[in-house]
């Protein structure tokens, strides 16, 4: 990952901080989502592994520094600034909620405490990484809830916003409880189960559907899944039955999916192929999955593509990365933003989770004052890993159990009453003190 994969203003601010003698200032930033998108009763935090890898790999190459030196924006930057960039490594602290943890608006997903220049430079990448994967994981969680125990497979790579996005969408979907992905790079990199059948083009590439099915069965054996709807779904089902076991399953991708699934299930069962699965695709989303289950249908699993890999109904998150503390010369200054609709709370924070609400408090407040589970945990300290990240399988198990523990109304696909997130009295008091101080300074 190039260190230049950031916004220009992060680098111009870094040059300005350097020129102003702020290299020893230590800043604390929090990354959070201002508000939940519509139709999201909760979010699922994801992206921590990529964030950690980025922080450990952060460094500038000579050609990157030479490029910056050539830009007019840096013509007044001290020459020593470019030497500083060549030696830059992340030496700070990272705190975060574990991946797979349900979160709500204005709750920190991660906290960065580091020398000001380091903490500033990593903003863009951290926002992009956490926001994208959290967005996809949150959509995936809805699909998993809609399926009521039937597997959901992420099938959206071809419709993702880039090849890289397709890989990380497969990862984020798995975090939130999906059974696997169609993306083989995601499968290899993250040890995620991979799924796939064959396209309509496979059937069209042979003189007959029978030849296409026979060739596929010779190749895949017990993993064979026939796509039935290239020409005539029922005739293709008869052909699949005629070819006999082994048969993992069949896929339906068009037509009246519910009715076809019932008829195909009847045919398979009568032929003794009761173990064969019926897989549904065709522009599915969580609402369509829920509808197919209600119909009823006989689907055993669902492949969700475009809607999942792009989170099409909520394709962005209002993620922000805001300074909450600044330490200089041994003195800590608490910082906050007070503008309308974009205000923030000062100080590094902790989230305490109770069965029916959360409390956001200052990280420095005594844990004994709160009976809830503290969610934010140390990950990196002074540039060194202090809490190894769990396997993705364990992360998924954490997500599934944490989502199940939420109040039942939050599992609805419809918008539920907002989950209560309370602010501790001490944090509210500090925010008011800062607001009063700010108003006093403005009035002078």
Q: pLDDT, tens digit, for every residue of 262-279?
A: 999 999 999 999 999 999
Which ranges constitute the DSSP H helices of 295-362? 306-309
Confidence grade of residue 337 (pLDDT, cut at 50, 70, 90): confident
SS3 179: coil
pLDDT at residue number 440: 58
CA distance 259 to 298: 9
Q: Cα 135 to chain center, whole Å?
A: 5
From residue 439, give the alpha-carbon distance in Å to each of 40, 308, 332, 339, 425. 36, 46, 20, 12, 21
Q: What is the mean pLDDT of residues 277-298?
A: 97
pLDDT at residue number 187: 98
pLDDT by residue (tens digit) across 366-381? 777 789 999 999 999 9
Q: Cα 284 to chain center, whole Å?
A: 20
pLDDT by residue (tens digit) across 206-240? 999 999 999 999 999 999 999 999 999 999 999 99
pLDDT at residue number 441: 54
Check: CB of residue 322 under 8 Å from CB of residue 109.
no
pLDDT of 444 strictly over 60: no
Q: Percent of the chain having pLDDT more than 90?
A: 91
Check: CB of residue 94 under 8 Å from CB of residue 55.
yes
| Sheet strands side by side (includes 152-154) | 180-181, 152-154, 301-304, 277-280, 249-252, 225-227
pLDDT of 129 strictly over 70: yes
pLDDT by residue (tens digit) across 134-186? 999 999 999 999 999 999 999 999 999 999 999 999 999 999 999 999 999 99
pLDDT at residue number 329: 87
| Angle between the N-to-C axes of helices 48-57 and 123-147, in degrees from 0 to 180, rounded to the nearest 10 | 160
Q: Percent of the chain having pLDDT more than 70?
A: 98
pLDDT at residue number 174: 99
Q: What is the mean pLDDT of the chain?
A: 95
pLDDT at residue number 336: 87
pLDDT at residue number 116: 98
pLDDT of 442 strictly over 70: no
Q: What is the mean pLDDT of residues 47-52?
A: 98
Helices and strands (H, E) in the chain, number of each type? 16, 19
pLDDT at residue number 264: 98
pLDDT of 99 strictly over 70: yes
pLDDT of 71 strictly over 90: yes
pLDDT at residue number 1: 80
What angle is formed at CA 285 by the lines to CA 164 and CA 138, rounded to 5 degrees? 60
pLDDT at residue number 408: 97
Could you tell me the domains of the chain? 8-135+314-443 (3.20.140.10), 196-282 (3.20.20.70)
């Amino acid at each position: 990952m190039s260190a230049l994969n950031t916004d220009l203003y992060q680098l111009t601010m870094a040059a300005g901080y350097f020129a102003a003698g702020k290299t020893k200032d230590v800043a604390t930033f929090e990354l959070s989502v201002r508000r939940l998108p519509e139709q999201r009763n909760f979010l699922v935090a994801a992206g921590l592994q990529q964030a950690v890898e980025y922080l450990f790999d952060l460094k500038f190459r000579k050609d990157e520094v030479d490029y910056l030196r050539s830009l007019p924006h840096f013509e007044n930057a001290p020459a020593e600034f470019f030497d500083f960039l060549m030696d830059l490594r992340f030496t700070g602290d990272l705190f975060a909620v574990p991946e797979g943890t349900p979160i709500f608006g204005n709750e920190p997903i991660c906290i960065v405490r580091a020398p000001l220049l380091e903490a500033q430079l990593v903003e863009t990448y951290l926002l992009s990484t956490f926001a994208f994967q959290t967005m996809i994981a949150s959509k995936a969680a809805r699909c998993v809830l809609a399926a009521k125990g039937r597997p959901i497979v992420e099938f959206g790579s071809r419709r993702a916003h880039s090849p890289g996005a397709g890989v990380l969408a497969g990862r984020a979907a798995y975090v939130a409880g999906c059974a696997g992905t169609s993306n083989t790079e995601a499968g290899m990199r993250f040890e995620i189960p991979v799924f796939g059948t064959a396209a309509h083009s496979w059937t069209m590439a042979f003189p007959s559907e029978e030849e296409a099915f026979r060739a596929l069965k010779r190749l895949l054996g017990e993993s064979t899944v026939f796509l039935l709807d290239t020409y005539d779904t029922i005739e293709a089902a008869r052909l699949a039955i005629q070819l006999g076991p082994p048969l993992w399953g069949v896929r339906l991708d068009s037509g009246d999916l519910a009715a076809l699934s019932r008829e195909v299930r009847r045919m398979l069962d009568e032929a003794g192929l009761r173990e064969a699965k019926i897989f549904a695709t065709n522009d599915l989303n969580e609402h369509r999955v829920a509808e197919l289950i209600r119909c009823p249908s006989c689907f055993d699993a669902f492949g969700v593509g475009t809607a999942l890999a792009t989170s099409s109904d909520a394709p962005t998150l209002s993620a922000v990365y805001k300074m909450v503390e600044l330490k200089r010369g041994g003195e800590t200054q608490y910082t906050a933003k007070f503008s309308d609709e974009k205000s923030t709370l000062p100080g590094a924070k902790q989230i305490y989770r109770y069965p029916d609400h959360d409390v956001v408090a200052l990280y420095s407040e005594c844990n004994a004052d709160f009976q809830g589970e503290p969610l934010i945990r140390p990950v990196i300290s002074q540039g060194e890993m202090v809490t190894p990240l769990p396997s993705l399988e364990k992360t998924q198990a954490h997500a599934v159990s944490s989502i199940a523990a939420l109040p039942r109304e939050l599992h609805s696909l419809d918008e539920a009453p907002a989950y209560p997130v309370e602010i501790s009295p001490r944090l509210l008091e500090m925010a008011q003190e800062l607001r009063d101080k700010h108003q006093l300074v403005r009035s002078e």
